[in-house]
Amino acid sequence: MSSNTVSSFNLPTDAAPLRVLIVEDDPMMQLGLEQSLMTHPQLQIVGQAEDGYLGVQAALKLKPDLVVMDIGLPRLDGIAATQQIKAALPETHVVMLTSHKTETEIIAALSSGADAYCIKGASVERLLNAIAAAVEGAAYLDPQIARQVIENLKPPSPTGNTANLSGRELEVLKLMVDGLSNPEIAEKLYLSPNTVKTHVRGIMNKLAVDDRVQAAVVALRSGLV
């Protein structure tokens, strides 16, 4: 990963640094992540773990704001570890960082409760965008994962009332799939944040989903965007 400074990554300057736990079994990858992330004053590395079991234990002890989680981990894989962390610490955000891109692994990752999904080897900017999106409550799917979802999954029978999405809701949904947060969507579409929140709730109700990531997956699989 390149360590270039990314000006687009931004958290409130008056907020405490985001406390980050790295769970990665490859020592070189772990070091690269640490060096890349610690250059940003808004991020504070509070711990590292080399397998899923230790990652869960570290999360329970440290209660980080965010976990950067590999999937292919010894003892306990990243998907199971994420499920355990989210069950115990629902406010902790998890960014899945992985080289796994098969259909089965994508589905498992999407159902694990992680907030964002980024492919190893991507730029630091993309990882930081995933982190920022997760913290802001937006869905983030790496473009490579999004393509895999489209190419490898057969369109399912719609689980919700997809045909009844309004034109404005479709605009908001596309920007959700692109990983934009509510404030960014509001700025892009010249709407108030409250109006965007209303549209997001309406979209999730019509698609019969519980969160933004599920909405993004349904949108991609159904060809809505």
Tell me whether residue 182 is exposed, middle or buried, using C-beta atoms within 10 angstroms of its C-beta: 0 to 12, 13 to 18, 19 or more: buried
**How do strand 93-98 and strand 116-119 relate by DSSP bridges?**
parallel
**For residues 173 and 135, what is the distance between their CA atoms, to the nearest angstrom?**
19
Q: Look at residue 149 and give its three-state secondary structure.
A: helix
Exposed / middle / buried, residue 95 (Cβ in 10 Å: 0-12, 13-18, 19+): buried
Q: What is the pLDDT of residues 175-220, one digit of tens each?
A: 887 777 788 899 999 999 899 999 999 998 988 887 776 777 777 7
Q: What is the pLDDT of residues 75-91, one digit of tens each?
A: 888 888 998 999 999 99
The predicted model gives 134-155 an average pLDDT of 66
Chain segment 33-55, per-residue pLDDT in tens = 999 898 888 899 999 999 999 99
Encode burial over 138-152: b for 16+ CB neighbours within 10 A, e otherwise.
bbbbbebbbebbeee
